Amino acid sequence: MNTLTDRQQQVLEFIRRTLQQNGIAPTLREIADHFRFRSVKAAADHVQVLRRKGWVTTQPRRARTLQVTSRAPQFPIPLYGSIPAGLPDDRRQESRGGMPLDLASLGIRPTARTFVLEVLGDSMIGRHILPGDLVVLEHGKTPRSGDVVAALIDNESTLKTFVQERGAPPCLRAENPRYPQLHPAAELVIQGVMVGLVRRCRP
């Protein structure tokens, strides 16, 4: 397999992300502007290398025809530790590196704000979210009532269902009758909205 330099990986991921977010490929000028290359030729040289190594295809003399090939590497999605699906605690989310998840096969288009947390606890079993599962979340997405969210409630972290009823402040609902509904005393901060779930095989 033809390996990529760090910069080539960054250019490939920018092309992939632009295609996912906008539905069209970036132009060479947009690539040059994004990476602050001194010339469009520098962007063209990077794309030419990616083509030669088999990571992208393009049609000559036509704009926005870049496509990432199916054999292109999947770049890691950040794994920010674990999150309680039980009673909230003061666990801090610290990066544990990345996971090379093929989210496209799940129908998920990852962005720069996509991240993953490992589930601890059984408060969400009513939504088929089990201990050890990986929840894929999108930071900055506005939650709707019924969405599963990673949240800080009074500065403690938890994974619950977001509930917003007319005329009432939002709260968090467990999907297991053993756990209470959570109402913030002071603050409720949504860190991410769940967009997917990955279940790892257990021995």
Q: Answer yes or no: are the C-beta atoms of 154 and 138 closer than 8 Å.
A: no
Q: Is 157 a catalytic residue?
A: no
Bridge partners (DSSP) of residue 83 are 119
Cα dist from 154 to 144, 160, 172, 188, 203, whole Å: 20, 14, 12, 6, 37
30-to-8, 95, 192, 203 alpha-carbon distances in Å: 15, 30, 29, 47
Q: How far apart are CA 40 and CA 164, in angstroms?
A: 49
| Coil vs helix vs strand at 195 | strand
Catalytic residue, chosen from 123, 141, 145, 157, is 123
Q: Which of 82, 145, 157, 160 is catalytic?
A: 160
Question: In angstroms, what CA-CA distances link 29 with 12, 22, 41, 185?
Answer: 15, 16, 9, 50
Task: Extract the tokens encoding 49.
Answer: 């290398």
Look up 160 and say whether it is catalytic. Answer: yes
Q: Which of 167, 168, 166, 157 is nearest to 135 (CA)?
A: 157
Catalytic positions are 123, 160
